[in-house]
A and B are shown apart, each in its own frame.
Chain A
Amino acid sequence: MVMNSFYLSRILGNKIYSSDHQVIGKIKDFAVNNDVKNPKVIGVKVKTDDGIKFLDWNNVNVTKEKGQYVLICSAIKDIDVSNIMLLGNHVLDRQIIDVNGRKVVRVNDIRLANLSSGLFVIAVDIGTEGILRRLGLAKPLRRIGFDISSKLMLWNDVQTTFASNDIQLSKSYNKLSILHPSDLADIIEDFDTNTGMIIFSSLDNAKAADVLEEMEEKAQVNILNNMSPDKVADILEEMPADEVADILDGLSEHKAEELLNNMEKEDAEEVRELMEYEDETVGSIMNKEFIAFDVNITAQQTIERLRELKPDNEVAYYIYIVDENDKLQGVVSLRDLVVSSPENKLREIMDTNVLKLFDTESINDSIELSVKYGLLSIPVVDEEDKLCGIVIISDLVDEVFLPTWRRKFKKVS
């Protein structure tokens, strides 16, 4: 079988012939199966005198004569058009996700490879050469000496975003799972709201929660208003309570109530507590997830316990020691824990001189403390000295440093 590869734009609009060189019709589009890895062309959409037909690609042969591609179809047989994707209609000229570059790009052309096992989509052209080729300027410009570099992206690194009622995208979005939540958030915000919703809905709850956390407030509100309350509640339950409180603050009271009522009672309670804090207080930005242990356990036991708990990165910087009334006694850094002898008890390793904040203090105080003492997180206590949360430095950066920096450098949005 002849092996060649070509661009979609070079054969779209060409005529397709029968074996005895009669014109069957004009090629309008190509239908591929929904294989995510390497879509295979299964049919070609042809406009004939009798209307639109979807011809079986198995009967088609592609040859190159005098620099032009010639398609010959040996038998006119229709294919089943359910569950297919059309390259021209759904991929060409559309925006897709460049999974490697972690951004949104537009498809200028599509590269197909004709192998013995069939015609496959192997890459998309997202560069300027693609545009010039579509305009018919690529060859002439190259002839007069302009060197235009091409920018092709393998189909593997690409994620299409088209979805409609007719097309089932089953495993389509699993490529997105390798992207970092903040990149995914940027990508979703780059698209129009409809496509953004489609992408977001395809994520599993844990991933969706991470992505939601990273989105801008306006985008968050948009997503939450457009999803069913049950699904939203599921996602919110995967997020730390302080993040949920922040998001719900941005919604109308009525909507926030609705969502809280849909959540698990315990989680909703935590969020409600946090929402009671006034803005600019430590309580309003603190994280309710922290690790607290009893003074009497050994370093060895602590580490084993941590292995079971598997805490998030930022929560694990320091381990706080509390007594049976939850009152703060001391702090042990993860470093000290690992470096000490395994049999040492926490009371021996811990630092009793704990720098702490009250939940009603202002955020400004937390900044002073964090910067002065180089703390990655600071424990927060209530008026009875009971440990109720921690303030993490990355939250401080989000809440205070970033907005101040933005204002200072007058970014035009």
Chain B
Amino acid sequence: MKNRWSAFLIILSIIGPGFITANAGNDAGGVTTYSVVGAQYGYSMLWGLFAIGIGLAVIQEMNARMAVVTGKGLADLIREKYGVKLAFFAMAVLLIANVGVCIGDFAGIAASLELFHLSKYMTIPIITFMIPFILFKGSYSTAEKVFLGLTLTFISYVITAFLVKPHWGGVFTSVVKPNAKFTKDYALTLIGMVGTTITPYMQFYLQSSIVDKGITLKNYKYEQLDVYLGTFWGILTALFITVCTAETLFKFGIKINTAQDAALALKPLAGDYSFLLFAVGLFGASLLACFVIPLSTSYAICEAFGFESGIDNKLKDAPVFFGLLLFIIILSGLIVLIPGISLIKTILATQQLAGVLSPVILIFMLNLINDKELMGEHTNNKLQNLIARATVILIILLTIAAFIGNFI
């Protein structure tokens, strides 16, 4: 009995990084992409979600294993094994992908506040100023808890999914029999779904969080549990969001062009207040991401090149760190302020960009995780290598397909 209790306590103290990372996947990009998937393609993309889910679980576990065995972050490992040139390349890819996702999240903030008729020209400058202010003032930990709380409204998707009474049998058979029409847009949306699920910044963030927690090899099986459960929860949320929009928007042929359209998916649950529910959740998730992404990007880049990092530094002691932070935040704010851009289209495009770039990071990871000198006896087994490599190949093929589709 004592053993079970202590095991339970160990689980409680370890659970966190996997779950938090999965929740981070439900940012503006995630919610919007899954909504579009359901609204535009019904259930014909669920097979992709399922396949990506398996890939994600394996990849997250790889990050966790690297964190526990080496005790180092991903940027650190890339720099130590491949040297400056390749580390520079990897960081450049990460920076581009992350700025992209950050832009998407700023767009998410603008879109959610527009539902309350607040113009983006007013909200975005305020937010762009507020984020560095909160970070430097040091009240980030409280702010983080607030935003995390706001994201709980996404439970409404779970409730709605059951309220709309889909034909669950049909939902699950479409995983095996997609009935998909393979067009360029289909490929692009699929890439977007990959990009929003296997976001590069999540890989770095997850590994760093686990390193920070100091989890040892002894307790690793609990961390594995956290990672797998987190992935499962993330994919499940995506499924529910898709079901909601499929049953409400797809059935009536409503395409999603604005956040308003996406909010309509929650009408069965909240009626005219659906937009309120949607807006609050979208706002919280996007704002949280707007803190996490610039922070984790700056940390990763400074880690790779040996620049001083850390929020409690003075500005002049860590110029590169703060410089990067401000650069990412301000650039994202500026881009979203461009008059006339479709916020929804921006969000979707940035997820596609992240998707296209993710194989680069994954290939680095595959190489690292199979390095015996680094991982000892904890390299990938055949199945893990198979799934991870298959995921990378799938993404690359989709990218090529979408690219070619441009010219057909």
| Contact surface of A with B, Cβ cutoff 8 Å | 92-95, 105-106, 108, 126, 131, 134-135, 192-195, 218, 222, 225-226, 409-413
Contact = CB atoms under 8 A, between A and B. Distances in A.
A93 B83 contact: yes
B84 interface: yes
The 4 closest A-B pairs by CB, nearest first: A192-B71, A106-B306, A134-B84, A410-B138
A193 B214 contact: yes
B406 interface: no
Nearest to A88: B83
Contacts of A409: 138
A411 B312 contact: yes
Nearest to B78: A93
Given A105-B306, A131-B305, A412-B141, A94 B88 contact: no
A94 B80 contact: yes
Interface in B197-239: 211, 214, 216
Contact of A106 (B70, B72, B79, B312): B79
A93 B84 contact: yes
Q: Counting chain A CB atoms within 10 Å of each CB, which of B70, B80, B81, B141 scores highest?
A: B80
A126 B84 contact: no
Nearest to A132: B84
B381 interface: no
Contact of B312 (A108, A193, A225, A412): A412
Contacts of A226: 216
Nearest to B79: A93
B211 A192 contact: yes
B306 to A, nearest CB: 3
Given A192-B76, A194-B70, A413-B312, 20 more contacts: A93-B79, A93-B80, A93-B81, A93-B83, A93-B87, A95-B306, A106-B305, A106-B306, A126-B306, A131-B84, A131-B88, A135-B85, A135-B88, A193-B214, A195-B71, A225-B216, A409-B138, A410-B138, A411-B138, A411-B312
B47 interface: no
Given A108-B306, A192-B71, A134 B83 contact: yes
Nearest to B88: A135
A412 B71 contact: no
B54 interface: no
| Secondary structure type dominating chain B contacts | helix
22 contacts: A92-B83, A93-B81, A93-B83, A93-B84, A93-B87, A94-B80, A106-B79, A108-B84, A108-B306, A131-B84, A134-B83, A134-B85, A135-B88, A193-B71, A195-B71, A218-B214, A225-B216, A409-B138, A410-B137, A410-B139, A412-B311, A413-B312
Contacts of A126: 306
B214 A412 contact: no
A192 B76 CA distance: 10
Contacts of A412: 135, 138, 140-141, 311-312
Contacts of A218: 214
Nearest to A195: B71
Contacts of B141: 412
A126 B308 CA distance: 12
A410 B141 CA distance: 9
A93 B71 CA distance: 17
A193 B68 CA distance: 10
B12 to A, nearest CB: 15
Interface in B254-273: none
Contacts of A134: 83-85
B357 to A, nearest CB: 20
Interface of B: 70-72, 76, 79-81, 83-85, 87-88, 135, 137-141, 211, 214, 216, 305-306, 311-312
B71 A194 contact: yes
B312 A192 contact: no
Contacts of B84: 93, 108, 131, 134-135
A120 to B, nearest CB: 23
A126 B76 CA distance: 15
A112 B139 CA distance: 48
A95 B407 CA distance: 48
A218 B212 CA distance: 10
A222 B214 contact: yes
Contacts of B72: 192
B89 to A, nearest CB: 10
B298 to A, nearest CB: 14
Most buried by A among B71, B211, B305, B306: B306
A192 B70 contact: yes
A251 B312 CA distance: 29
A108 B88 CA distance: 13
A94 B81 CA distance: 9
The residue in B83, B88, B137, B312 that gathers the most chain A C-beta atoms within 10 A of its C-beta is B83
Contacts of A410: 137-139
A92 B70 CA distance: 18
Contacts of A105: 306
A215 to B, nearest CB: 13
Contacts of A411: 138, 312
Nearest to B218: A225
Contacts of B71: 192-195
Residue in A94, A105, A106, A226 with the greatest tally of chain B CB atoms within 10 Å: A106
Contacts of B76: 192
Nearest to A133: B84
A131 B304 CA distance: 11
Nearest to B141: A412
A94 B80 CA distance: 6
A222 B219 CA distance: 13
A194 B375 CA distance: 13
Contacts of B70: 192, 194
A411 to B, nearest CB: 5
Contacts of B311: 412
A86 to B, nearest CB: 12
B302 to A, nearest CB: 10
Contacts of B137: 410
A194 B80 CA distance: 15
A105 B306 CA distance: 6
Contacts of B81: 93
A93 B88 CA distance: 12
Contacts of B85: 134-135
A73 B324 CA distance: 46
A389 B138 CA distance: 39
A293 B306 CA distance: 54
Contacts of A95: 306
A49 to B, nearest CB: 24
A112 B141 CA distance: 47
Nearest to B83: A93
A155 to B, nearest CB: 18
Contacts of B140: 412
Nearest to B72: A192
Nearest to B81: A93
A310 to B, nearest CB: 38
Contacts of A194: 70-71
B284 to A, nearest CB: 20
A222 B84 CA distance: 32
A413 B310 CA distance: 8
Contacts of A106: 79, 305-306
Contacts of A94: 80
A125 to B, nearest CB: 11
